[in-house]
Amino acid sequence: MTRPFAPGFRIPPDLLLRAYATGVFPMAEHADDPEVFWVRPEMRGVIPLDGFHVPRSLRKFMRRDPYEIRYDCDFGGVIDACAEPAPSRQETWINAPIREAYTALFERGHCHTVEAWLEGQLVGGLYGVTLGRAFFGESMFSRMENASKVCLVHLVERLKARGFVLLDTQFTTPHLKRFGAIDVPRRRYERLLAEALEGSAAF
């Protein structure tokens, strides 16, 4: 981790993209913190697209086709929901500078959402950054059963179909490991990133 920006600092979108291209991403201590710090983990979480695993119970759930899946329809709604406290996440790192910066990336076509809708309501989703053939997952939320998990499955299907080669999760969790997430050392991650930045893919 590196030093924080000064309070109230705005993250220029070009700087944010350059950071991702070098394996760095921003975080904040909590939503009300005006400062942002940069993170470059020694061990990086990734989900190998060819090793993605859908648990049997989720496959059974998805056969019911419970949600309407949309892409890039309500970025504001998704990042707002990701910033809300949840039973497993009492505080969020999505503060004002981060919200502003990723909104700018969305407007430029470098940030995308996968959204689960039910009866006209946004009930789950995720968002992340695209650069080259890489997708950098940022956050996800769920207000209904398995909603974020369903979005993750659809994300992977879309990435594979559209020529992406890297799905970065920043860190791993027991939840993500159920889907095949692994930790890779920084040097190996940088090789994967360099390969992903060669060429382009359209989300």
pLDDT score for 93: 80
pLDDT band for 31, please (50, 70, 90 cuts). Answer: confident
Task: Using the predicted structure, report yes or no on whether residue 1 has a pLDDT greater than 90.
Answer: no
**What does the pLDDT average to over 1-10?**
51
What pTM was computed for the model? 0.92
DSSP per residue over 132-194, as a string? TTEEEEEEEEESSTTHHHHHHHHHHHHHHHTT--EEEEES--HHHHTTT-EEEEHHHHHHHHH
Q: Cα separation of 77 and 82, whole Å?
A: 9
pLDDT of residue 33: 85
Does pLDDT of 7 surpass 90?
A: no
